[in-house]
Structure 1
């Protein structure tokens, strides 16, 4: 299906718990701000999507989904060739009450992906489809550690800085450099940036680099080339930062996104 993401119409058919729509993009696309009555799980069957909600930016590679509760205003975008999927859930349905009332990451495990695909593509009797959908609800597990979400600064000048970093996370300009461009002292910019985002400028830039890194890794780029692309001279530093945020090395993360089993030993 290819209906628009936005609007007030009801997506989940009567008698069911969820439904999924497909959005395969030939060109980069942006869905403007909108909200809906259903809860939503935004995920990718291939390529990279991005979601903005509650002043945060979420990277969505194939290994991650993002849970958007009912009535939360959000906007989404996807790169050329991405295969975006939006699964909508009936508000107040079984087990959705266990999900948080805020936007959060959900690990896109292989069982969850397989069952979502089967619900979308499989030919099932009504009672079998309902049983399948109940299992899908049981598999929804918040995974904020893997979410790569970024709080965007509120101030116009800091929002400009943050947007520039998202465009090119390898940009090595310091807070002093950005302060000069914004007409303020670098230390003032650093303090204001941390006050508005909750983390330091350096920490924020590392997260921005990880957002780009997971996109490049899922496209099959080598770890060394990805490390250089996102601004690391030393690949081991990149691997350390990646592991500290995800609990996995880049290689392990890629294997998981492809549904491969970990190496024995």
Structure 2
């Protein structure tokens, strides 16, 4: 298992430089913290599912939440621990927020080489908390199915995101009818099958882009008939094109 090439941890935050494919052990922290990828893409895995964190997102992990990270592409990961007085204003569950320019700069300042005294650090934490309170939640979240039939469908599509089978065809392989699966997607995962499959494909696309594949290759590998369709969906979900996103990674 690849380990971080370099790590610096201090009471209020930390930096991990991960090679592509590196993963952390499952762990938790006594304080809630924010996670941001300056370069590369992170996935955050919890019992609730998987969150993908590209450079225009900031992940929130509550205190005591067991999780592990995986780096897709060489990844510069920054961590900021929030004091309890501010952490209680954040969700009690993992969440992903849009990263404003100001929030990014504050995270970079707090995890950089400059020393801040306690008062300055407190003020920067407050600015960061204010930015996140105003930021929309923008999850790239694949919730973890509990029902065995949903798990079977999820495995089929995770193994091959380009699979264009209908829900009925997938149901025949998983041992359930399309109506039953549709209800399970709604009740367990809070989204339709097509919303979930799009989310899966976008998450897989982010991983492939971080690994260096071009837009055309990624589009076909993730099930889009042509690159323009992929670009349109990717831009709607991420707020940037695959090309601009890929350039930021490096």
Asked if these proteins are the same fold (TM beyond 0.5), I'd say yes
Q: Output aligned runs, 1:1-12, within 5 Å.
A: 2=7
SS across alignment from 1:237: helix
**Counterpart contact for 2:95–2:139, Cα < 8 Å:** yes
Q: 2:111 aligns with which of 113, 120, 136?
A: 120
RMSD (CA atoms) = 3.1
Number of residue pairs matched?
242
What is the CA–CA distance in structure 2 between the aligned matches of 1:36 and 1:82, rounded to whole Å? Answer: 21
TM-score by length of 2: 0.79
Report deviation, 1:104: 1.6
1:161 is the counterpart of 2:153: yes
Q: 2:93 aligns with which of 98, 102, 114?
A: 102
Where structure 2 has 5 or more consecutive residues not aligned to the other structure, the ranges are 1-5
Q: Output aligned runs, 1:143-222, within 5 Å.
A: 143-144=136-137, 146-217=138-209, 222=214
Where structure 1 has 5 or more consecutive residues not aligned to the other structure, the ranges are 4-10, 14-18, 260-265
Going from structure 1 to structure 2, the CA distance change for 1:207 and 1:74 (only over 3 Å counts) comes to: same
1:45 is the counterpart of 2:50: no
Report deviation, 1:60: 0.9
1:28 is the counterpart of 2:34: no
What is the CA–CA distance in structure 1 between the aligned matches of 2:91 and 2:55, rounded to whole Å? Answer: 22
TM-score by length of 1: 0.75
Report deviation, 1:208: 0.9
**Counterpart contact for 2:50–2:144, Cα < 8 Å:** yes
Report deviation, 1:128: 4.0
